[in-house]
Chains A and B, each alone.
Chain A
């Protein structure tokens, strides 16, 4: 299917990608506000919002990573394993030996860039290779930190606990990340090429660009956002755990799709992905606020993820030929 790289629609339809996740976020937020009125009280909103939204930041970061992978039509199936591993690297290695810890993280980045090259050269979908990687990341995580524990470097803890005036820190971070993601995908050559590779790789190659370079850079950035997510999560929990980021893979994929991205690639929205990630985080929070029994939580989560994918997919279904 050949269509312009930036197929802008007219009028309101142009904003559907951002409106759907924004409305979803609101729908989730309203019952939470009803249950926790402190969220909008003038003198307590700051602390309550900070507490409620803080754990959304690692999900936002993981979703931006997943968004990059999905922009070229791939998926990082090892996202939750990577994020968990990074908390273990921070808690068990970085804390004692910053040099070794940094080398470890750079190694992870290098492996991610290799994955980009690998899927290009072998013409393989990233699913299989990242499933293999998920074994390796979890194996490494269990080896360096078998049980939850460890201590985070003080700088990381402090970085996650800044207190800017007036606006709660997680909101500042979310807005910043949305702007960075949007700039990266829509205002840089790299972003245009990445979306081009996802949409029609032949046209990008015939225009004289190297698709392997784009894929390597994209996967390098997937790794970078995964690492940032792990650092943020580690800083928030102040402990390392090889299973800490459970469900992050599904949550990040759902966030991207809710935010207007597609599995086929070429079409993404960074702002939508950030909204989507916060909505997915708040849904999980809502289950706690509504005192849903832990027995039901996994099932309700699965149901909500399906619902998010359905809503996200609903608006871009027309005209698609699928032989499923």
Chain B
């Protein structure tokens, strides 16, 4: 294939075309559409972060999915802010503590999958109940305020338009793309996702790479938790709730294979912006929360239906 044909064959392109189309509709129905776009990009940043973590897990093969992301977000965000105690000098300790907790949750998830032999979906869901309980016990479900320095950083916009965290996440995404395409870790998790038995027979240390993957998913959720909590003015118990299903949605919409073995970082950026633009459009059009849920579900199923993807079982 060549020219336009090969360009359209790239699955990630569709999410960018979709984002452009939705932005066109927003421009038609609202006056300050560029403000909407800028705000959407800020929030899309968090979708990209959790999306990359979720994508790594999904890439390791059928059935692998991390449903503990929402509670990891809430717990690590709360822990980081509790350690920072609204003091700029404590920011490094807070970051370290929050991310270490997030990594531990990820590793614990894999421990359950590995030693109790349960499907990742069930293991991560059950462990997230425990994490939620810990959040309630330690942080009493209160809103914990961020230190001023961190709040300033996440709200800073270059030239008043481009959110700096968006650029930060773009750099992170570029790094992940490189790692997935070129580094040993990336090649191995693709191999595991495509044919776990073949990868294992070739000598890939499947357990080790899966442990790294689940830990990374936790870390990405932890970064999200800290940035999101700073962005929204404080860590709360329920701040991660919408990310469980949306993290899966952006991976699927971004052109990664839900069957694993085929990742796509570029697509996640496009689909995250698209998903948040859709949310904003539905808000502008005055749709109720219930309809937004239905719409998201229809989009997920519709994309799976249209993608024509078939999967080994």
> In the assembly, what is the distance between CA of A303 and CA of B65, in Å?
20
Interface of A is mostly: helix
Which A33-85 residues sit within 8 Å CB-CB of chain B? 75, 77
Q: Pick the contact of B206 from A118, A143, A323 — CB < 8 Å?
A: A323
Instruction: List the A side residues contacting B112 at CB < 8 Å.
Output: 306
A25 close to chain B: CB less than 8 A: no
Chain B, Cβ-Cβ closest to A302: B129
| B151 interface hit (Cβ, 8 Å) | no
Taken together as a complex, chains A and B put the C-alpha atoms of A123 and B63 apart, in Å, by: 13
> Residue A323 contacts which of B196, B292, B297 (CB distance < 8 angstroms)?
B196
Q: 1/0 per position for A297-314, CB-CB distance to B under 8 A?
A: 111111101100110010
Give the segment of A133-141, A153-161, A180-188, A222-230 that binds chain B. A133-141
Task: Establish whether residues A129 and B114, one from each chain, have CB atoms under 8 Å apart when the complex forms.
Answer: no
Q: How far is the CB of B82 from chain A (nearest CB, A)?
A: 16
Contact in complex: B304, A142 (CB < 8 Å):
no
Q: Is the CB of A139 within 8 A of B293?
A: yes
CA distance in complex: A178, B99 (Å): 47
Q: How far is the CB of A145 from chain B (nearest CB, A)?
A: 9
Whether A135 contacts B300 by the Cβ 8 Å rule is: yes
A8 within 8 A of B: no
Task: Return the CB mask of B119-163 against A: 1 if under 8 Å, else 0.
Answer: 101110111111011101100000000000000000000000000
When distances are taken between beta carbons in the complex, the residues of chain B under 8 Å from A306 are 112, 116, 118, 123, 126-127
**Which single member of A132, A133, A302, A322 contacts B126 (CB below 8 Å)?**
A302
CB neighbours of A300 from chain B (8 A)? 133
Chain A residues with Cβ under 8 A from B197's Cβ?
323
A140 in contact with B304 (CB, 8 Å) = no
Q: Which residue, B117, B206, B291, B313, has most C-beta atoms of chain A within 10 A? A: B117
CB distance from A139 to the nearest CB of B (A): 3
- Report chain B residues within 8 Å CB of A322: 117
Q: Which of A77, A132, A143 interacts with B288 by CB under 8 Å?
A: A143
State whether A142 touches B210 (Cβ < 8 A). Answer: no
Interface residues on A, range: 35 or more
Point out the residue from B119, B133, B292 that lies within 8 Å of A298, measured CB to CB: B133
Partner of B290, one of A124, A139, A298, A299: A139
A132: chain B residues within 8 A (beta carbon):
297-298, 300-301, 304
Are B297's CB and A135's CB within 8 A? yes
Residue of B whose beta carbon sits closest to that of A124 = B311
Is A296 at the interface (CB under 8 A from chain B)? yes
Q: Given A128-B258, A129-B301, A142-B293, verify A298-B136 contact (CB < 8 Å).
A: yes
What count of chain B residues pass the 8 Å CB interface test?
55
Asked whether B90 is an interface residue with its Cβ less than 8 Å from the other chain, the reply is: no
User: Which residue of chain B is the closest to A144 with respect to CB atoms?
Assistant: B290
Is B248 interfacial (CB 8 A cutoff)? yes
Closest residue on chain A to residue B248 by CB atoms? A131
- In the complex, B182 has a CB within 8 A of chain A: no
Which residues of A are found within 8 Å of B114, using beta-carbon distances?
324
Q: Which residues of A contact B301 (CB under 8 A)?
A: 129, 132-133, 136
B295 / chain A contacts, CB cutoff of 8 Å: 139
Chain B's closest residue to A121 (CB) is B310
Q: Does B113 contact A (CB under 8 A)?
A: yes
Q: Counting CB contacts under 8 A, is A122 at the interface?
A: yes
Mark interface residues in B283-313 (1 if CB within 8 Å of A CB, else 0): 0000011111111111011001100011111
Closest to A297 in B: B133
Interface residue from A124, A299, A309, A324 paired with B304 (Cβ < 8 Å):
A124
How far, in whole Å, are A129 and B258 apart by their CA atoms in the complex?
11
Is the CB–CB distance between B133 and A138 below 8 Å? no
B207 in contact (CB, < 8 A): yes
Residues of B within 8 A of A144 (CB): 290
Q: Are A142 and B117 in contact (CB under 8 A)?
A: no
- Asked whether any CB of chain B lies closer than 8 Å to the CB of A149, the reply is no
Minimal Cβ-Cβ distance residue in B for A249 = B125
0 or 1 for each of A109-136: is its CB under 8 Å from B? (1 = yes): 0000000001000111101110111111
- In order of increasing CB-CB distance, the 10 nearest A-B pairs are A299-B133, A302-B129, A139-B293, A135-B297, A143-B290, A139-B294, A142-B290, A136-B297, A132-B300, A132-B301
Q: List 28 A-B contacts (CB under 8 A).
A: A124-B311, A127-B121, A129-B301, A131-B248, A132-B297, A135-B245, A136-B293, A136-B301, A138-B293, A139-B291, A139-B295, A141-B290, A142-B293, A143-B290, A143-B291, A144-B290, A146-B288, A253-B122, A263-B122, A296-B133, A302-B126, A302-B128, A302-B133, A309-B116, A309-B122, A310-B116, A317-B117, A320-B117
Residues of chain B having any CB pair with chain A under 8 Å: 62-63, 65, 112-114, 116-119, 121-123, 125-130, 132-134, 136-137, 196-197, 199-200, 206-207, 210, 245, 248, 252, 258, 288-298, 300-301, 304-305, 309-313
A interface residues (Cβ-Cβ under 8 A, vs B): 75, 77, 118, 122-125, 127-129, 131-136, 138-144, 146, 247, 249-250, 253, 263, 295-303, 305-306, 309-310, 313, 317, 320, 322-324
